[in-house]
Structure 1
Amino acid sequence: MYKFAATVVKVFLMINGSKAKVYGQENLPKDGGFVIACTHNGYVDIFNLGVSMIPREIHFMAKKQLFDMKGLGWLIKQLNAFPVDRDNPGPSVIKIPRQLIKEGNIVGIFPSGTRSAENTDLKAGAITIAQLSKAQIVPAAYIGPRNIKGVLKREKGYLLYGKPFMVESGKEAREASMQHLEEELARLTNELKAK
């Protein structure tokens, strides 16, 4: 269902001139599992990120509450999303993405939440998952329409992938990588704004 939905979304975005222009695709690992940590300002960035990776599929980490919504929960499950309880994070927060990466899949995380505390927790989560999985993490930035209204207004979208990096073992390495990810997301966003 993922590929079918991605094709429909791609056509819809193209018709409305909102399919993101993608930069830095040469930075994406060609095979194996890895983490993508992308800026987040709406739900159209999810569509553009997913479409940009075809034929590969992204398994998105999504807040648990979305899965409780009738219809939407079923749909996002079909589209490879997996739930995370941000208020009471348990072992599954790490276990599910680690298993996905081990199987050679791509895990998508949006570490720039709306609240600063959430923002920090999500950045730490992305780094911890990459560290424990011994997987590369690819920073990415998106600028463009945030919702369907923006798409119908034919707002342009832009997506930029940064260079992947590994998170070494140890607490100091994790903290340094968190700082690096934060700086990279800011740098990529500014780079996109300058294009």
Structure 2
Amino acid sequence: MATLDLLLHPVRLRILRTLLDGRPATTAQLRERLPDIPPATMYRHVAALAAAGVLDVLGEKRIRGTVERTYRVCWDRAEIDPADRATMTTDDHRRTFTAFIGGLLADFDQYLACEPADPTADGVTYQQVALWLTDTEMAELLVEIRAAVTARMGRDPGPNTTRRMISLVAMPAE
């Protein structure tokens, strides 16, 4: 499992967010998607994620004397495991949630910056609901949501498809 410090580094977090759709990418492709990250910084952080097992090398090919690797996220290694999560302090949780929300804000800001942004036509939604659930029902709901999302991951872009970000936050509310 990955550590909190590994996953919450701003550059590594951006790399992982770029790979959220499950599609593999080379470091060169990641650099195209994240052009503001200097090449040496990109390579260093991709290497750190790969060394930790968060990124899996799918393939390698030689290009002009160097090796180009294709990576994908190993989702089971890209999450803090429940035992480690249980030891997180309140400040650790606050820092993690802040990073999550910061990523959402950056994604939404990037979407709005693309002209013409039309949230209604593009199916943008943000909503909150309150449900009365037992712990067992909540666990079942999360399994159902994960299954629904996982079944749609890894699809290739097509003529009638749009890359969409799906985010979920669940917490008790008194």
TM-score, L = length of structure 2 = 0.30
If each structure's strand is expressed as a fraction of its own residues, which one has the higher value? 1
TM-score, L = length of structure 1 = 0.28
Structure with higher Rg: it is 2
